[in-house]
Amino acid sequence: MKKKVFVNDLMQQGYTYYLTEKPGKMFSKEFKPELSPRELLFLGVFGGKYMTDCKKEFPPAWFKKAKLCKEKHDPFLNYFKVNASQPLSVWREKGWIHKDDPRGWFQWYCRYYLGRRHPDDIRQIKRWKAMKRHLVQIERNCMPGDLTCRKRQRQAVLHWAYDPGKI
């Protein structure tokens, strides 16, 4: 199975990549996200602004009941109703953006989930694993199941496909 994907959206024109794995399968042993991109979009991430112009690239089912806003970043669309995002300019300054995924980690994850494998996978998986420090802080400072404790941190780990309800 090798499917070619063509990308033409506001942030990327003329980019192509190949899907070489079945969607949601054959992940690295070290990468065990708890939520799919579809689940994340349904729950509410990135203030609803993320990926509003690139729906053609991804399965339509991902966007059914997704909490999105084309006009602006709206923290009230997030699951925890708080802003847990940094501007794209900060991501760029810190070197977190790879040229093939100009929207950052979540774009990489969506493409990885669909079956793209890329030289940046190792770096992105290391970044995902580093988010566990936030899970530990939530566990140490909150009662189990208290979703009102550390809402900003919980929203941040949700952005990285960790299920904050399991903490």
Give the residue, 85 or 37, on which the prediction is more confident: 37
**Is the pLDDT assigned to residue 131 strictly greater than 70?**
yes
What are the residue ranges of helices labelled H in the chain?
37-43, 88-93, 105-114, 121-130, 132-141, 151-159
DSSP 8-state assignment for residue 98: B
Q: What pLDDT score was predicted for residue 82?
A: 97
**Is the pLDDT assigned to residue 76 strictly greater than 80?**
yes
What are the residue ranges of helices labelled H in 115-150?
121-130, 132-141
What's the chain's average pLDDT? 94
Q: What pLDDT score was predicted for residue 165?
A: 82
Q: What pLDDT score was predicted for residue 87?
A: 85
**Is the pLDDT assigned to residue 1 strictly greater than 80?**
no
What tokens does 2 get? Answer: 């090798």
Confidence band (pLDDT; 50, 70, 90) for 51? confident
